[in-house]
Each structure stands twice: as structure tokens, then as C-alpha cells.
Amino acid sequence: MSKIQKIKGFSDLFSPESTVHTLMENLARQVFGTYGCQEVRVPILEKTELFARSIGEETDVVQKEMYTFADRKGRSLTMRPEATAGVLRAFIESGQCGAEGTTKLFACGPMFRYERPQKGRLRQFHQLDVEVLGTDAPQADAEVVLMLWTFLTKLGLKNLGLELNSLGCPECRPVFHQRLRDFLATIDHTQLCEDCKRRAQTNPLRVLDCKVPACKSLVENAPSIAESLCPGCDEHFAQVRDILDSAKLPYRLNDRLVRGLDYYQRTTFEVVSGEIGAQTAVAGGGRYDGLIKQLGGPDLPGIGFACGMERLALLYGQAQIPAPDFYLAVLDSRALNTALLLAQRMRERGFSGEVSFEARSIKAQMRQANKLGVKTCLILGQDEMEKGQIVVKDMATGVQKNIGQDDLEQALGFRKP
């Protein structure tokens, strides 16, 4: 029979990779928790309309990257390509959007985008996502950026760059759109990539951050959105920058940072790294006032971000997996059951370890103990069984002694809760 292989762009995570993911998730929960974020778990599958309406019909994500299919009753469903839309749907549907004040939500899990797989770009990837809902204060923007930066710093990541921009609001964006369209009318469209030929008509902002070198050089002299911001957006952005300056958080203003999803307004940001290949963005986010209303909720503002866990993991490197506390070698098959119950007793008391299921040669079992990296090996043979004892071997020194089985925890000097 032929082997069944995983789907292209999907991956299996074994330890240490899975350990790194768990570690990142736990740290995210803890750090974001200190800012008041509550975890929400939302479905992976949603109605297609949710994403089309929020991310935008004209985006690459909606146009060509979604895993969309009809269910058995012919309803169009989509595997979430990002978390924001689902979190907002849940926020609205649960009625939490009616509560006063600010709601801070944390979500994580797998996302799905049908992109061309490469290093740091998968079709199933994982995000750590934060959404801060119900405030348009510039302080919230600054707090969100600081929250992300604190998390990345605590993760021990270095050499990251923070890029910042403001995309304006429905008042000033149309003015910029027109200026941009006027500019795009002056360039040679035949030189644009196929995507940008389409974007120039449907979504001109996106031409600005196309990564294709030919497009990049064609829009080199495009107008800057910074010059088109209305006084309200200008002031809002100035305040955000002011706080980040006071917090001594270095950033680079990038007026070409438009992000790939259409719901953004005002502050947008990305964290980039030059150390993980072509896919440089490890996290990105921004403000999306108007989106909650667009999804049928009240007119509440919001801002958030998501980190790509696979990209963070590339920077994080290998996790140090702690060795188990013991390995219990069994030399006589008649001792197997006693060994198993002794190991069980130890685990109930909080120790970690493995016990042999077979009475193999002592050499093979020592090899196994070394492979696990344990400091202490316990050995149980018929002789020890009869005396109610067990051998405790210090793997570093090779010194071994017999102790009573009842004295195991104490004799080993374990200090576990």
C-alpha cells in the first residue's frame, strides 16, 4: 500500500518544534494577560461571507488564497485565513459588544491561506492574535504596539524592526486614493506585474507595497499618504508616535506600509526581521475602526495584531526540552508490573520519567536512559524485588546504591511540589 502524505504547505510539528509553539503560546497568554486580554476560542470554519466582507473582496487573500468549499447543503464555508474576522463576529454575536468600556481579546490557532509555500510561508500556519475593541484613543494604539514588543522581547528575539504608518480614515483616504490614481495613470502599466495591473484599478493602495522589483521602482515617486492625512488622523498618529518615543521604542516610519487586508484605517504596523528569508514580517496589525459596524455590530472602533508563530519559531531556534527525572530499567520480566506501579507512584507525586515495558539487556536500557538525558536511572531486578529495594544510579558519576522502594523520592533528593 502506498503511504499517505500530508498536504503540501501543511506541516506536522514534533518536539522540539511543538515545544517551541507551546512555549510561545504560554508566554503570549501570560504577557497579553498582564494587559487585560481574555482568551477567546473561535471556530476554524466560518461562512465565506464573513471574510469577503471584512478582509475585502479585492484582496489577494479573498481573491485567491482562501480554502473555500460548499458544505453538504451547498453553503459556502471558508477555513479562516486570519483570526480578526472570527473574533469580531463572536464579539458581536455574543452581545459582548454591548458592554461598556474596552474589551481585550486574545486568540490563537491555525490559519489557512493557499499561498505558494516557502520558508516561513505555509498553507496552514499559526497566529497569536490580539484585538482591543471599543476605543479609538491613540493610547490604545501605543499600548497594543508596546504589548506586541514586550512579548517579542520576553521571547528573547533580537534584531527586529518595527515599521509604522497611518492609512488615514474614510475622510482623507479618498483624497489620497485620487492622488494615487492620478499618479498611476502616468506610469507604464505594461511594466506592472499581473496582480498590480488589476490592483491599479481595484485597490490602488496595494500597488504601493508590491514586492515585485519592477513594480517597486515604478511607484518610487508615488505620493505619500503622510501628506494626505486629515488633521484628525495627523494628530492621532502624532500622539501614537509621541508615546512610543517616550517609551523609547524605536520604529521606522514607512509610508508604503499598507498591509494586505482592506479593513485597516489610521495606525498600521509590522514587525520585520531580516533573518528569516524572503518572508520578513513576523507580526502585523493596525486599527480597523468601522469594521465592527461593517459586520453588523455597533459602530465601535478596534485595533489589533497577529504574530506568525512559524516565523517566530524560525527566529527562536531550538527549545531546551527538560530531561525527565528518572528512567526505570527492568532486568527481570517478573519485575515489570512492580516497576510500572513504582513509576506511576512517582508521577502522581509530580516526577517525570519513563519505565521499561520489557526486560531488555542492561546495556540497551542504559542507552535508553542516556538518550533521554536523565540524571538518575533506577534499576529493578529480581533480587531488588525480593528485598523491596531498588538500585539508584547517578548517571554522571556511575555511582549506584540500593535503597528501600519506600524511600525512593527522598533518597533521590527530588524536591517536587
Binding region for ligand HAM (CB under 6 A): 82-84, 113, 115, 120-122, 125, 127, 129, 131, 260-261, 281-286, 304-306, 308, 310-311
Cβ at position 260, least distance to ligand HAM in Å: 5
How many other C-beta atoms lie within 10 A of the C-beta of residue 240? Answer: 26
Closest CA to 365 of 335, 396, 329, 332: 329
The grid coordinates listed for 19 are 515545544
Q: With respect to ligand HAM, which residue has the nearer C-beta, 129 or 325?
A: 129
Residue 263 marked as a ligand binder: yes
Closest CA to 302 of 153, 119, 122, 83: 83
The grid coordinates listed for 119 are 520558508
Q: What angle do CA 73, 75, 79 make, to 5 degrees?
A: 120
The grid coordinates listed for 194 are 499581473
Q: With respect to ligand HAM, which residue has the nearer C-beta, 155 or 339?
A: 155
> Which residue spans within 213-370 are E strands per DSSP?
252-253, 265-273, 281-287, 302-308, 326-330, 353-355
What gap in Å lies between CA 212 and CA 193, rounded to an integer? 7
Residue 127 marked as a ligand binder: yes
Q: What angle do CA 201, 61, 254 make, to 5 degrees?
A: 70
Cβ at position 176, least distance to ligand HAM in Å: 21
Q: With respect to ligand HAM, which residue has the nearer C-beta, 120 or 134?
A: 120
Residue 83 marked as a ligand binder: yes
Residue 318 marked as a ligand binder: no
Residue nearest to ligand HAM as judged by C-beta position: 308
Q: With respect to ligand HAM, which residue has the nearer C-beta, 127 or 203?
A: 127
Q: Are the beta carbons of 285 and 148 closer than 8 angstroms? A: yes
Q: With respect to ligand HAM, which residue has the nearer C-beta, 87 or 385?
A: 87
Cβ at position 114, least distance to ligand HAM in Å: 9
What gap in Å lies between CA 29 and CA 39, rounded to an integer? 8
Closest CA to 342 of 324, 330, 360, 358: 330
Cβ at position 92, least distance to ligand HAM in Å: 15
Cβ at position 416, least distance to ligand HAM in Å: 38
What gap in Å lies between CA 221 and CA 44, rounded to an integer? 41
Residue 35 marked as a ligand binder: no
Amino acid symbol at 167: L
Residue 131 marked as a ligand binder: yes
Residue 89 marked as a ligand binder: no
Cβ at position 128, least distance to ligand HAM in Å: 9
Q: How many CA atoms lie within 13 A of 93 on its CB side?
A: 8
Cβ at position 308, least distance to ligand HAM in Å: 2
The grid coordinates listed for 184 are 498611476
Q: With respect to ligand HAM, which residue has the nearer C-beta, 16 or 117?
A: 117
Q: With respect to ligand HAM, which residue has the nearer C-beta, 291 or 335?
A: 291
Binding residues for L-histidine: 82-84, 113, 127, 131, 259, 263-264
